[in-house]
Amino acid sequence: MSSTADVYERFNLYSLPDTFYLEPRDKYGVVASNTYLEIDRNLGDVNIRRSTDFPIPVVEADVQPIYGIVGVIRLVSGNYLIVIKRAELVGTINNSEIYHITETDIIPYKKTTLHLTERQAWFNRHFLEMIHLVLATGGFYYSTTFDLTHSLQWLSESATPTFKQLPMIERANPRFVWNRHLCAPFSSSVELSRYALPIMHGFVGIRSCIIRGSSFKLALISRRSIHRAGVRFYMRGTDSMGHSANFIETEQILEFEKSGGKPGKRALTSFIQMRGSIPLYWSQKPNLRWQPLPTMKPADDQLDAYVRHMRLQHQIYGGKHVIVNLVNTKGREKRIGGELERVIHVANLDFARYVGFDFHREVQSLNWDRLSILKDMLAPELVDFGFFYSAIDNPSDVRFQLGFFRTNCMDCLDRTNVVQAMLAKESLRNQLFFLGIIDNPNLDLDVLEDFSHIFKNLWADNGDECSKQYAGTGALKTDFTRIGKRTMNGAINDGINAVTRYFKNNFADGYRQDAIDLFLGNFKVDPNALPERFDTSVFRLDATGGAIIGAIFSTAMVILCLLISENTTATLFWMIVFIAFLLFIYINGEEFVNTPKLKQD
């Protein structure tokens, strides 16, 4: 039976010149309510109307079936309605359908931009492109009946009957709702809230598995935080509130029902891990170098940064916490990793333990078996922390995860995903034994080839999706995650991804950071106070643009001298000029990269 707090499953969107009408439908297309939402395209007002009192003028309207509303955003020309045109079913968890958004539409309230100046129209077009860019990134998920933003353990521990009666947008964890700002127009009443669909960014994968005759579902949910959200080099470290960049909560869920369907035999288990940027105040701005040097300001209180972050983690999750640090103990990563170890020792928090593991040194020469060293270091906590368990038909039959692993490398992508998958597999083995699916607590799951293939590819897909959202490419080292060893094709793919990351991080990510800030509401458009400078081209009328043009021109002259004049002196001259321009560009690299323009960190 539906509740007044439920979100409608589908809509028919009727568009008229002055009004939008959103008529609730179920997933089969049947009208789901005797009321509908009316949006005034001129004033922006939203109202609930009763269809018997004010029938929708369907004959005069353009009609479009949609899956849901992402929200409303104000750009220079006015408001835009963002709707979900298409979504694909990922699978079901606890009988609830989970969807991945595959196509959206951004519809202006105003039919024309003729009321804008040329400059305003230029900005409006670019802001609109930014919203399209964020939505095209992919990895946006929702469910109209399942709370994707909270872990099963949190819902079991904290979800009171009163909480469950709240509208879904109010129940959802604000840390992981990427359209909360966009849904503001629908938050003033319970009826309006039924149109507000909380959307999560990250990854959801659901697979059906069989082990020795027992069938179960394996799901992976990675929830990307809205706090300090952004791209690889422009979001590092923590903010003053303790939120770390690229923070992702990953929950691995197992759903199992013993044959016969007897009461008390259906169960859910889960295991939660976190990843997030090194919890200090630090930065690593792109500057055309292959790997920019991480920096920390001497005046920053690094102990405060660490303590704020870990106390926030403890407040949210409770229990014990193990910080698994995978950065190099030599080279450019040493200073940041060493400072983290120092402040952890000084803080001496009773709920936190530090484990340092130089991933690259330990597995050099493709010696991946040495990951077992780290596994052995963490084995006691894996047992002590346990996992969440709940018997669906008997809620009192429950056990909780008592501690959590927080893993980081520099990006919290490639090395981190390998280690998180390793820990998840160890926990899963304990869960499978607890549920009676396997009868040997020490069974190596890799010997179950079909299941192992599903598990590894699920985690590799998770790594790829999280990496695309932060770094712009799929993850590195996914050949090991997928098949358990390094391959030549994997090494080539890593090389391609590394080069692609370099170009995107230096020449596209400033724009992408601006797009994320605009989407999340960290930057709000004021038509009367537009940014002074918003160009993304390097061909500007300053030293930066001059150097680029000079480098291109001198390159052309070198080629002409070689092909036409055969003048050695002229060729050497233009080659020296070209090298001089390149040297100038390299030394002043920060001036040539694409930087955020809307909101400074």
Same domain, 220 and 152: no
Last residue of a domain, one of 141, 160, 193: 193
Give domain status of residue 523, yes or no: no
Same domain, 222 and 343: yes
Q: Encoding tokens for residue 271? A: 């295991």
State the number of CA atoms in the 13 A half-sphere of 202 facing the CB.
Answer: 29
Same domain, 115 and 160: yes
Same domain, 535 and 496: no
Q: Encoding tokens for residue 250? A: 């990953």
| C-beta atoms surrounding 373 within 10 Å | 11
Written as one string, the DSSP assignment of 536-571 is --S--SSHHHHHHHHHHHHHHHHHHIIIII--HHHH
d(CA 516, CA 567): 52
Same domain, 396 and 459: yes
Q: How far is CA 255 from the centre of its chain?
A: 24
* 3-state SS assignment for residue 251: strand
Q: How many domains does the chain have?
A: 3
d(CA 554, CA 581): 9
Does the pTM exceed 0.95? no
Q: What angle do CA 329, 330, 331 make, to 5 degrees?
A: 135
Quick check: 51 and 35 in contact, CB under 8 A?
yes
Give domain status of residue 230, yes or no: yes
Same domain, 111 and 244: no
- In the prediction, which pLDDT does 367 show? 74
Q: Encoding tokens for residue 394? A: 């008997």
Give domain status of residue 253, yes or no: yes
Same domain, 254 and 317: yes
d(CA 574, CA 57): 71
| Dihedral sign from CA coordinates of 152, 11, 138, 282 | negative
> Within the chain, which residues score under 50 in pLDDT?
1-2
Written as one string, the DSSP assignment of 339-403 is HHHHHHHHH--TTEEEEE--HHHHTGGG-GGGHHHHHHHHHHHHHHH--EEEETTEEEEEE---E
Structure confidence by residue, pLDDT tens digits, 181-206: 999 999 888 899 999 999 999 999 99
Same domain, 170 and 101: yes
Q: Encoding tokens for residue 128? A: 């609109």
Quick check: 518 and 598 in contact, CB under 8 A?
yes
d(CA 158, CA 164): 10
Same domain, 399 and 449: yes
| Dihedral sign from CA coordinates of 481, 468, 416, 327 | positive
Q: Pairing relation of β-strands 10-15 and 35-40?
A: unpaired
Give domain status of residue 291, yes or no: yes
Q: What angle do CA 263, 268, 272 make, to 5 degrees?
A: 165
* Residue whose token pair is 């002259």: 557
What is the 3-class SS of 11-27, one letter each residue?
EEEEECCCEEEEEEECC
Give domain status of residue 3, yes or no: no
Last residue of a domain, one of 128, 161, 193: 193
**Contacts (Cβ under 8 Å, ≥6 apart) of 543:** 588, 591
509 φ/ψ angles, rounded to the nearest 5 degrees: -75, -25
H helix runs in 173-238, sequence order:
190-193
* Residue whose token pair is 């899956």: 67
d(CA 412, CA 273): 12
Same domain, 548 and 425: no
- In the prediction, which pLDDT does 568 show? 81
* Residue whose token pair is 């309230």: 109
Same domain, 185 and 210: no
346 φ/ψ angles, rounded to the nearest 5 degrees: -70, -45
Q: Encoding tokens for residue 202? A: 């990250």
- In the prediction, which pLDDT does 1 show? 40
**Contacts (Cβ under 8 Å, ≥6 apart) of 476:** 413, 414, 467, 494, 497, 498
Closest CA to 517 of 593, 413, 596, 594: 596
- In which domain, by residue range, is 105 found? 10-193
| C-beta atoms surrounding 150 within 10 Å | 20
Q: Encoding tokens for residue 311? A: 């106390």
Give domain status of residue 596, yes or no: no
Structure confidence by residue, pLDDT tens digits, 285-324: 988 888 889 999 999 999 999 999 999 999 999 999 999 9
Same domain, 144 and 236: no
Quick check: 10 and 65 in contact, CB under 8 A?
yes
Give domain status of residue 109, yes or no: yes
Give domain status of residue 5, yes or no: no
Last residue of a domain, one of 193, 222, 239: 193
Q: Encoding tokens for residue 552? A: 């291109």
